[in-house]
Structure formats: structure tokens, C-alpha cells
């Protein structure tokens, strides 16, 4: 702006998904506008996914590190295990909240290792269907992103039925 040029912040469509690590089906999706923090989408995606499939474990990256998220999974939705690594917050103090403290004390690396399945699903979605949206208006971008998720899940059903998908 100091150089006399107009500066405009670019926005993009963010797709937050909950994915089953065994089947790689997308159980829930939420479309939001980026750039933004990932944390607010967590309570919007996990309850619908838990309503569709009995979840035994929730894996999330450090962006979802919040005691409320652990409490939502374990106490409200009765999911036995929530594995979200505790973010480093430039302090030597241990987290005071019980679930975050548990993650800091004994992080289950071998079980958290299955999080790559979600990244694999996102990669497959981008490779096989699309990595960009054609719509210009926000409402159409939301609809298009959700249709892409639906198409992905239908593709996975056909794959499991042994029907070739090209």
C-alpha cells in the first residue's frame, strides 16, 4: 500500500473433512473461507461423523489442539480416544487441562501414525477428481466442494464393489 498499489487479501475455499482410516470414506465435511484457523471447524465436523459411524478414535493434527475438542470427543460423543498432539506454546510449563496433559505426557505415536490415511484421501480426491473449483460465487463454491466430496465417496463405493472407476 505504501508503494501506491492496492493490496488485496486473497481468500480461498477450505475443506475440512473427517475421514474413516479403514475405508477412507469421508464421513463429514465443512466448507469455510481461508486463510483462517482450523480449530473452529472441529466441533462442526466431528458430531455429524460420530452420528454416521461409531468412532473409536479421533486423530487430529496440532491445529486442533484444544481441551474443548478432547472433551467434546470423550465426554459428549463418548469416543474412547482423542489423539491430538499438544502444540508447543513457547513455554516450559506443562498443560494444566487433563486431556492435553495426557497427550503431552504419553503421546501414542503408533496410533497417531494412522493419520496419513486422511492425507492420502485428500491426495486421492485432488488427483482423481479435481484440485480446484470452477465456481466464482461463494454459495456455488460451497455446493461444488460438497459435490466433490459426494463424488469421492461414490467413487470409493464403486471401488469397494469392484467396479472400475476411471
Residue 102 has a pLDDT of 84
Residue 127 has a pLDDT of 92
Residue 106 has a pLDDT of 83
Residue 76 has a pLDDT of 94
* For the chain, domain boundaries: 12-161
Residue 2 has a pLDDT of 62
Whole-Å CA distances, 16 to 29, 30, 63, 120:
6, 5, 12, 14
Which residues in the chain show pLDDT less than 50?
Answer: none
Amino acid at each position: 500500500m505504501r508503494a501506491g498499489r492496492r493490496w488485496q487479501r486473497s481468500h480461498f475455499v477450505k475443506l475440512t473433512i473427517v475421514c474413516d482410516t479403514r475405508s477412507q470414506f469421508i464421513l463429514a465435511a465443512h466448507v469455510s473461507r481461508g486463510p483462517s484457523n482450523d480449530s473452529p471447524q472441529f466441533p462442526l465436523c466431528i458430531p455429524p461423523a460420530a452420528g454416521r459411524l461409531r468412532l473409536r478414535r479421533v486423530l487430529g493434527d496440532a491445529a486442533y489442539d484444544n481441551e474443548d475438542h478432547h472433551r467434546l470427543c470423550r465426554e459428549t460423543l463418548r469416543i474412547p480416544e482423542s489423539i491430538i498432539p499438544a502444540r508447543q506454546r513457547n513455554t516450559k510449563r506443562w498443560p494444566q487441562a487433563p486431556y492435553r496433559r495426557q497427550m503431552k505426557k504419553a503421546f501414542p505415536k503408533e496410533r497417531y501414525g494412522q493419520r496419513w490415511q486422511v492425507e492420502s484421501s485428500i491426495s486421492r480426491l485432488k488427483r482423481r477428481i479435481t484440485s480446484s473449483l470452477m465456481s466464482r460465487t461463494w454459495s456455488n463454491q460451497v455446493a461444488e466442494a460438497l459435490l466433490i466430496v459426494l463424488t469421492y465417496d461414490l467413487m470409493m463405493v464403486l471401488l469397494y464393489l469392484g467396479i472400475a472407476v476411471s
